[in-house]
Amino acid sequence: MKCRVCKGAAVIDVRRHNANFCAEHFIAHCHEQVRRTIDHFSMMQPDDRVLVAVSGGKDSLALWDILLSLGYRADGLYLGLGIGDYSTESTHYSRDFADRVKGRLVEIDLLADEGFDIPTGARLARRAPCSACGLSKRHLFNRAALEGGYDVVCTGHNLDDEAAVLLGNVLRWNVEYLGRQHPVLDARPGFVRKVKPLVRLAEREMAAYCVLRGIDYQVEECPMAAGNRHIGYKEALDGIEAGSPGTKAAFFHEFLDKASHLFTPESDVVREGLLACASCGSPTTGEVCAFCRLVERATASSSNMSVPVQLGETRS
């Protein structure tokens, strides 16, 4: 196996590009893929202040590393979800990487700052953990970026993530989500621009990138992911990709080129007529935004429930 660029010994094959790379040229390939993605989708300008949502996993740490290598002024943002050992470890990997690159890591802790953690808060609010988690991330990333004066929030969603989400949205013809599934969500009043610069790189490539760059990352998946539908979608797409390399990239990128615009009006209808949340001021379709409703239920329920216990009452 020889490197496509230098003909030296290759360490990785990328079948959908019909190419093998040595370590040096694979790293350069990843940088180039991200540079091209940023250019193609006009994701950001060289002097933008960039906030990278960091989880301690391979994708987000690789993304932060690549953006710094490309010369962007990129800080990290870590959200502590309070998911037991998983969160303890992810904090450790995120801080370690920030120290290594001498980067600034903005930290938010759900329990300390908002009064709930994902496992307990989701149960009390009667939401699936990933639904409460996703809502919290969207709201708090946006708020942190606005408060910190950042121009753009970057997330580490890779090609496998986006193809799996697309498959799920297509299987249910979820037109609202299809309209919003784009690597760039432009800034609007109350919302900072959000971009996904890794959409041309696969999960396996991000793991290889971290290994080759000596980046320590959290290998363990979030325990709350068990039973998540996306795992099944990813496995189904992996099966197709194995027999027909390039299908996953075609599925997602051809959707962006040829079909995504057909769904945009649907999501615009939803976006129109937003009001300011009575509690936090964020744009929302109702009186109080979904995140504030979550906080209210995840925290108020816990204090309501604690009163009888403190009074020594028993519950049947």
Residues that bind ligand Q46 (CB under 6 A): 118, 129-130, 133-134, 222, 224-225
CB of 136 to ligand Q46, least distance (A): 8
| CB closer to Zn ion out of 189 and 227 | 189
| CB closer to Zn ion out of 38 and 110 | 110
287 touches 275 (CB < 8 A): yes
Residue 279 touches which member of Zn ion, ligand Q46, none, C-beta under 5-8 Å by kind: Zn ion
Q: What are phi and psi of 168, to 5 degrees?
A: -60, -40
216 touches 57 (CB < 8 A): no
Where do contacts with Zn ion occur on this chain (CB under 5 A)? 3, 5-6, 8, 22, 25, 277, 279-280, 282, 289, 292
CB of 33 to ligand Q46, least distance (A): 22
Structure tokens at 128: 């699936």
Residue 206 touches which member of ligand Q46, Zn ion, none, C-beta under 5-8 Å by kind: none
Q: What is the 3-state secondary structure (H, E, C) of 189-217?
A: CCECEEECCCCCCCHHHHHHHHHHHCCCC
**Cα separations in angstroms, 110 against 115, 132, 147, 286, 289:** 6, 11, 17, 23, 17
Residue 118 touches which member of Zn ion, ligand Q46, none, C-beta under 5-8 Å by kind: ligand Q46
| CB closer to ligand Q46 out of 130 and 185 | 130
- 266, 270, 273, 278: CA torsion to nearest 10: -170
C-alpha to C-alpha distance for 207 and 58, rounded to whole angstroms: 6
CB of 49 to ligand Q46, least distance (A): 25
| CB closer to ligand Q46 out of 135 and 152 | 135
